């Protein structure tokens, strides 16, 4: 348990200063939806466990998903920093749009891999955008097994079995008509539904 500001105990309603550590600091999906339970002592926490258990586990899963996402992001960006395959010449942010300028190479020429040109920007967000640009397939190929391992043992709503890799072709205002975008077809093992995309 961790000390927090004074509120009412979830079990007895008296003043309380201790929060459940398992679910505290869970990320919000919507404003105010990750508030954990607060207790006046361990006895009240134990007495309230049957009421709090499902919410505590759901908030704990959010924390695990966030940790997993941070690890996967760091792994992909680190890989791209040392195996960068774009001949980037300039990174420019103008009128709310990030432009990545590069030397074009003939399609028959293999790309050269090397270190990311860190001298082109000091802005971490711009650097991460350049590193992650067009890396959907790479991310899935490199991080699929790690993702499974990090989420191993999770139950509903995170218990998805990653299946066959497929492609979506965009339609509409963005001109991606000829570009396939990869996705994993996932099956929720608890509800036997399929078709969710990750």
| Single pTM value for the model | 0.68
**Contact by Cβ (8 Å): 195, 183:** no
Residue 180, in any domain of the structure: yes
SS3 27: coil
Residue 143 domain-assigned? no
Q: Is the model more confident about 56 or about 107?
A: 56
pLDDT at 9 over 90: yes
The confidence band for 78, taking pLDDT boundaries of 50, 70 and 90, is very high
Domain count for the chain:
2
> Mean per-residue pLDDT for 6-31?
90
86/28 Cα distance (integer angstroms): 36
pLDDT in tens, 27-57: 998 888 888 889 999 999 999 999 999 999 9
Average confidence (pLDDT) over 8-23: 92
31 domain residue, yes or no: yes
Residue 123 lies in a domain: no
More confident residue, 20 or 151: 20
Last residue of a domain, one of 46, 62, 78: 62
Model pLDDT, residue 5: 54
Question: Does the pLDDT value for residue 121 go beyond 90?
Answer: yes
CB within 8 Å of 83: residues ≥ 6 apart: 113, 114
Q: Is there a domain that residue 92 lies in?
A: no
Give 154's pLDDT tier (boundaries 50, 70, 90).
low
Please tell me the predicted confidence (pLDDT) of residue 52: 94
Query: In the prediction, which pLDDT does 2 show?
Result: 53
The answer to the question of residue 193 being in a domain is: yes
Residue 170 maps to a domain: yes
The residues, ordered by sequence, that sit 6+ positions from 148 with a Cβ below 8 Å of its Cβ are: 162
Per the structure, the complete domain to which residue 195 belongs is given by: 159-198
The answer to whether residue 120 sits within a structural domain is no
Kindly give, in sequence order, each residue whose CB lies less than 8 Å from that of residue 91, ignoring residues fewer than 6 positions away: 98, 99, 100, 101, 120, 121, 126, 127, 130
Is residue 166 predicted with pLDDT exceeding 70? no
Cα 20 to the chain's mean position, in Å?
24
């Amino acid at each position: 348990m961790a000390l927090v500001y004074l509120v009412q105990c979830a079990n007895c309603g008296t003043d309380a200063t201790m929060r459940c550590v398992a679910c505290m600091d869970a990320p919000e999906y919507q404003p105010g939806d990750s508030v954990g339970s607060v207790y006046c002592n361990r006895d009240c926490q134990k007495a309230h466990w049957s009421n709090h258990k499902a919410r505590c586990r759901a908030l704990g899963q959010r924390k695990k998903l966030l940790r997993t996402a941070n690890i996967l992001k760091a792994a992909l960006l680190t890989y791209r920093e040392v195996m960068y395959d774009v001949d980037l010449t300039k990174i420019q942010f103008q009128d709310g749009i990030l432009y990545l300028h590069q030397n074009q190479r003939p399609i028959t020429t293999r790309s050269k891999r090397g270190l990311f040109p860190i001298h082109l920007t000091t802005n971490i967000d711009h650097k991460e955008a350049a590193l992650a640009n067009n890396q959907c397939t790479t991310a899935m190929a490199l991080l699929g097994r790690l993702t499974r391992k990090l989420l191993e043992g999770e139950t509903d709503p995170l218990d998805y079995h990653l299946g066959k890799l497929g492609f979506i072709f965009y339609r509409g205002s963005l001109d991606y008509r000829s570009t396939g975008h990869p996705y994993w077809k996932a099956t929720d093992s608890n509800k036997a539904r399929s078709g969710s995309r990750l």
